[in-house]
Amino acid sequence: MDRPSPLLALLSLVLALPVQAAGLADPFDSEATIKASSCFRTQASAPLGLAEVVDRALCNNPQTREAWANARIQAGLVGSAESAYLPTLNATLGSSRNRVNSDDRDTTNKTLNQANLSLSWLLYDFGVREANLESAHQLLAAAVATQDTTRQSVFLSALQAFYQVHALQAALNAAELSEKSASESLAAAEARYRAGSATPADRLQAQTALSQASLTRIRVDGELKNAKGSLANTIGLDANQTVDLVPLGTLTPPVDFEGNVSALIEEARRQRPDLTAAEAQLRAARANVDASRAAHLPSFSLGITPGWQNNDGLSTNTSSIGVSINIPLFTGFNQTYKVRTAEAQADLKSAQRDRLQLQIALEVWKAYQSLTTATHSMRATADLLASAEASEKVALGRYKAGVGSILDVLSAQSALASARQQRVQSAYDWNVSRATLAQSVGALDTPILSEFTGAPALPPGRGAIRKP
């Protein structure tokens, strides 16, 4: 059996290597730290609770997919930095046919086949590869932390949209009650007017109050429809699609609500993913400084180049092996300014990290104070609503009995309508303030949903960013 020619053997090797490499999607496992999982799905027709709304937002919102894709891009750069430690292999194949035609001899045709294989391996470079790999790893850590930041931002947006719909639905119910009360007052004024115990001014004032109550109901109804459209958009639906929500349970703020703000600030500085990203970016910038400083030092490489040539039946084999040293002597001060730029970038990342630390402390402080205010407001508005309801009943009863004035009734109904709206707003502020404080501390995640709804949280792994 004839022995295969070196040209065919090398061609087979060249064609086989890309096929083998294609079978390894991530040979360095650079995407191991990227968070991605499947989404939990509920039936489209079933009313959605807070957990389902948040999960659908995390699954469908383009921001989460962008963050996941950015993390994968950085993981690819980590793989590229890892590849610098491996040798590179290149092959060159060639075949030519030469025709020679002279006056004193016949035309001759000669075939030239050649194949060359070259291997290059960087052996030592005084830490350039190591620094570049460290920078890539730190930037990947920053991308993963940014992924968490994006996830918490979308989480909070979904939670706000959920409670906004409920708040406006409660406001609409309150407006309808106020309109019904105003209608009852108008009926009482007309009855007294017909009986001759009230003036036309009473009836006109009651009619004006009813018209104002109707306008309030119409306005709140429009705001509710906009809020429902925003909620649908947040969970990845068109704004005109209807989203049914499960009703909220009874809201009861804790009696002994208090906390240590200093402890919350320290916890935020440990948990906040954006601060984690800033720290990783600072470490990456410092690694770039090391890489820039080492780039002006020599590097040692190994080179191996076997070759084969067949010239019209005459075969020759050549090979070479050697070690080369690359010594950058002068680059026109280019390397000097690269080092200066890298140092300035490291200083910039350090200042950005420090600014973020101060910003986190302020955000935690404001979120804590907002939650404290919302908690006390919830208790105060409960008492306010109870007294306003009692006052309205007394005023209306006195007017119907002929011993009160229409101004007392309208004033009491106005105070009751205001109390209802304040009660609704305080409930919304309390729910959103809890989530805002959790986000400011860096603890806004699916397990916390059980504290908002009283229901079990989603199973572990559900509600995370999904792979497209």
State the CATH number of the domain containing residue 80: 1.20.1600.10
Q: Which of 115-119, 169-173, 260-264, 278-282 has the lowest mean pLDDT?
A: 260-264
Compute the radius of gyration of the chain from its Cα atoms.
37
| Same domain? 231 vs 171 | yes
Confidence of residue 111 (pLDDT cuts 50, 70, 90): confident
CA angle in degrees (0–180, nearest 5) for 298-302-303: 125
Number of domains in the chain: 2
Judge if 174 and 311 occupy the same domain. Answer: no
Tokens 């065919």, residue located: 8
Pairing mode, if any, of strands 314-326 and 108-124?
A: unpaired
pLDDT band at 194 (very low <50, low <70, confident <90, very high): confident
pLDDT at 360 over 50: yes
Confidence of residue 35 (pLDDT cuts 50, 70, 90): confident
Q: Is residue 267 part of a domain?
A: yes
pLDDT band at 464 (very low <50, low <70, confident <90, very high): very low
Instruction: Indicate the angle between helix axes 200-234 and 128-195, nearest 10 degrees.
Output: 160
Per-residue DSSP letter, 27: T
> Mean per-residue pLDDT for 202-206?
89
Which segment of 21-30, 45-54, 160-169, 301-310 scores lowest on mean pLDDT? 21-30
Q: What is the largest CA-CA distance in the chain?
A: 141
Asked if pLDDT for residue 73 goes beyond 80, the answer is yes
Query: Is residue 312 predicted with pLDDT exceeding 80?
Result: no
Residue 457 has pLDDT above 50, yes or no: no
Q: How far is it, in rounded angstroms, from Cα 139 to Cα 132?
A: 11
Locate tokens 């919350």: which residue?
Answer: 264
How many angstroms separate the CA atoms of 37 and 147, rounded?
13
- Residues 186 and 77 both lie in one domain: yes
| Average pLDDT taken over every residue of the chain | 84
Q: Is residue 61 part of a domain?
A: yes
How many angstroms separate the Cα of 292 from the Cα of each of 59, 244, 337?
41, 58, 9
195 in the same domain as 274: yes
Taking 70 as the threshold, does the pLDDT of residue 261 lie above it?
yes
| In contact, 384 and 424? CB cutoff 8 Å | no
108 falls in which pLDDT band (50, 70, 90)? low
- Examine residue 27 and state whether it is found in any structural domain, yes or no: no
Spell out the residues 6+ positions from residue 222 whose beta carbon is closer than 8 angstroms to its own: none
51 and 104, same domain (yes or no): no
Model pTM score: 0.80
Rounded Cα gap, residues 301 and 88, in angstroms:
11
User: Where is the domain boundary, 312, 330, 348?
Assistant: 330
165 and 286: one domain? yes
Whether 142 contacts 280, CB under 8 Å = yes
Closest to 156 in 3D by CA, of 451, 465, 437, 461? 437
Do the domain assignments include residue 468? no
Residue 17 domain-assigned (yes or no): no
Q: Per the domain annotation, does 22 fall within a domain?
A: no
Domain identity same for 161 and 283: yes
Domain match, 91 and 239 both: no
d(CA 226, CA 243): 12
26 found inside a domain: no
> Torsions phi, psi of 349, nearest 5?
-65, -35
- Residue 376 and residue 322 share a domain: no
Are 316 and 418 in the same domain?
Answer: no
Q: Where are the alpha helices (DSSP H) in 196-303?
A: 200-234, 261-271, 273-294
Residues 257, 398 share a domain: yes
* pLDDT at residue 416 is higher than 80: yes
Determine the average pLDDT of the residues in 22-32.
74
Rounded Cα gap, residues 146 and 153, in angstroms: 10
Q: Which domain holds residue 92?
A: 87-124+297-330
Whether 206 and 259 map to the same domain: the answer is yes
CATH number (domain holding residue 104): 2.20.200.10
